[in-house]
Amino acid sequence: MAEPVSHLMAGKLLRGLRLATLAITVTTLFGFALPLLVTGWETYSSPARQVLAFTILTVVAVVAGVRILRDEPLGRPRWVLVAAVIAAAALATTGIPAAELMSEEEWSYGVIGWFGILLLVDRSVVGAAVFLGAYTVASFAQLALVGQGHETADLVVVTAIMFGCELPVLAGAMALRSLVAASSAATADAERVRTAEVVAEHLHADRRLRYADLATTSIPLLADLTTGSVDLGDERARSAYAVAAARLRRLFAEHDEVADPLLHELRACLDLAERHGVAIYLGTCGERPTPPLAVRRALTEPALRIMPNVTSEVRVTVLGSATGVTVSLLADADASEPADSDPAGAAVHSGVTVTRLVHGSKVWVEATWQPQG
């Protein structure tokens, strides 16, 4: 939520800047330039050019004003409008006698700069400053080319007055952009910190959840081993320790980033038996979804629990389809159950169905999960 709020704040500030610039530009055009145009009508060598220049600027102000009032970017029309402003400046300064360029009747010099700011300040403060600089240089060059170089000092004074009004607006726009950038950066940093805290909390909760069953399974076994109260000559006791060791290996495997978590965790459950000489055949068939952690535990639990009783070999198959996942196991094993809890216990709350069949020395176990929906 922080980033959209930051963008909203920046949008409001920049819109306020655009509205203020529009108000100044329109006021200058109609409150300053229009009276000069009317009173200097007899002075112009080409009144038609003056009218056309003023009309072009009016159209530019209307088009830009509509976009700004609607809070829309100028987009590509921006450059057409900039070109129109330059054309209007050329018409206005060539439609007046050279000797009158520095007279009050030359109304455009105090207006064109504001139009440049209006059209460019929302895109780039530097771009608006370049426009002002280029227009000023062109004005000095025109004055020299028409033989009015002796009035350069007057143009310097007028330029200083205009810059005194325009440059503070550019400075304010630059400060506003810097403020918005700093605020956005601070908001982003705060959001990253909050995200890191949330991730850390989730990881901590996940670790607590994953290690919760150790309090009732592995830790009591370790306590018995420490106190010497367990008889390691008892086959069922050794089986319980083997199951606990396999669960620890599965727990460690759950932290690994792998393409197929179920197969990876299943291998961890089978690894200890394989190290003790049991022949293990593991195969997969079909595409399958990735089950949630609790479901993966329930799917691997039957294989994990039977491995301590396997005598020679075991075949494990993972079958997958769009509708579910099945882990089946066929082993030469002692048919007795391990000493700890019900083999289907992990499946009760996970939507996993466990089927167990025994025929002589063969034990077949199948765990099936079908996601709902």
Section 287-316 average pLDDT:
88
pLDDT digits (tens, 9 = 90+) for 157-192: 999 999 999 999 899 888 888 877 777 787 778 888
pLDDT of residue 187: 78
pLDDT digits (tens, 9 = 90+) for 307-332: 888 888 899 999 988 888 999 999 98
| Range list of H helices, the chain | 2-27, 34-39, 47-69, 77-94, 109-120, 125-145, 152-211, 218-227, 235-253, 261-275, 293-306, 345-348
Q: Which two tokens stand for residue 353?
A: 């169905």
339 pLDDT tier (thresholds 50, 70, 90): very low
Reply yes or no on whether the pLDDT at 372 is more than 80: no
81 pLDDT tier (thresholds 50, 70, 90): very high
pLDDT digits (tens, 9 = 90+) for 18-52: 899 999 999 999 999 999 999 888 889 999 999 99
pTM of the predicted protein model: 0.54
67 pLDDT tier (thresholds 50, 70, 90): very high
pLDDT digits (tens, 9 = 90+) for 226-246: 777 777 777 777 777 878 888
Distance of CA 147 to the CA centre of its chain: 59
pLDDT of residue 34: 93
Reply yes or no on whether the pLDDT at 141 is more than 80: yes
Reply yes or no on whether the pLDDT at 341 is more than 50: no
Count of residues making up the chain: 373
- From CA 219, how far away is CA 272, in angstroms rounded? 19
Reply yes or no on whether the pLDDT at 217 is more than 80: no
Neighbours of 64 (CB within 10 A): 23
Reply yes or no on whether the pLDDT at 68 is more than 50: yes
pLDDT of residue 90: 93
Q: Which CATH architecture has domain 260-369?
A: 2-Layer Sandwich (3.30)
Domain with CATH 3.30.565.10 in the chain: 260-369
Task: State which amino acid sits at residue 184.
Answer: S
Under DSSP, the state recorded for 340 is: S
Section 79-85 average pLDDT:
94
